Amino acid sequence: MKLINFIVSSLVASTLIQTACDNSHYKTTQIGSQIWMTENLNVSTFSNGEPIPQAKTEEEWKKAGLEKKPVWCYSKFDAANGRKYGKLYNGYAVFDSRGLAPKGWHIPNTAEWEQLINELGGKDEVADKLKATSGWDEFKGLWKSGSDGTVHKNSNGNGNNSSGFTALPGGSCDNYGTDNFRGIKGIWWSCTEDETLLYNYALDNLFSFLEKRIDHMDVGFSVRCIKD
């Protein structure tokens, strides 16, 4: 009996150590058949353990983009923003062969994003269900429009988070390293490319839908992972 308990205890300990090493302690929510992280990715190493270079200045961010190298930064290069919004990664980090997503997870492709949208009622229904219930308050009292051009009053920009996704407006970093839209817009990479461009999805507090976009890989957006 003691031997069995020892073996079981050892296996549990090994599982916990492996989980910690894989950076897989993430809060999750199930939406349909998909399991999503409920927080933005905040890793500083690739899945093989090698470090992802950090840009601490606009110049370092711009240089990485020109050299087509992976890089991450905090919004406004301030670590305090990382605690709320996670890190911003450029497209070269998303496509690096060493793997940006932790083991057991991956960066969703456009088909998986579209499945999420359909599961929550379509692109004009999804925004409020994805957004956190606070943090989208930058433009209280302004107007927002749906994808069909309809316009209605935007009371505070926040959502009801009925999906549990807890989307926050982490903003972006353009190819010059300039912080854009923090507190206003949340943008998440997909892993679907079109030649030198990469698709992404955006929410903001002026529009009531999730927007599909495409951008160059030298800009920085948030990353939200989906379970394998």
Domain boundaries, the chain: 27-227
What confidence score (pLDDT) does residue 149 get?
56
Sheet of 105-106: strand order equals 28-31, 34-37, 226-227, 105-106
The pTM of this model reads 0.84
The tens digit of pLDDT for each residue in 28-48 reads: 999 999 999 999 999 999 999
Whether residue 175 has pLDDT greater than 60: yes
Q: Where are the beta strands (DSSP E) in 100-196?
A: 105-106, 143-145, 151-153, 172-173, 179-180, 185-194
Token digits for 220?
């920085």
Among the residue ranges 96-105, 113-122, 131-140, the one predicted with the least confidence is 131-140
pLDDT of residue 183: 87
Residue-level pLDDT at 194: 94
DSSP string, 95-138: T-TT-SSPTTEE---HHHHHHHHHHTT-TTTHHHHHB-SSS--T
Locate tokens 């809060």: which residue? Answer: 27
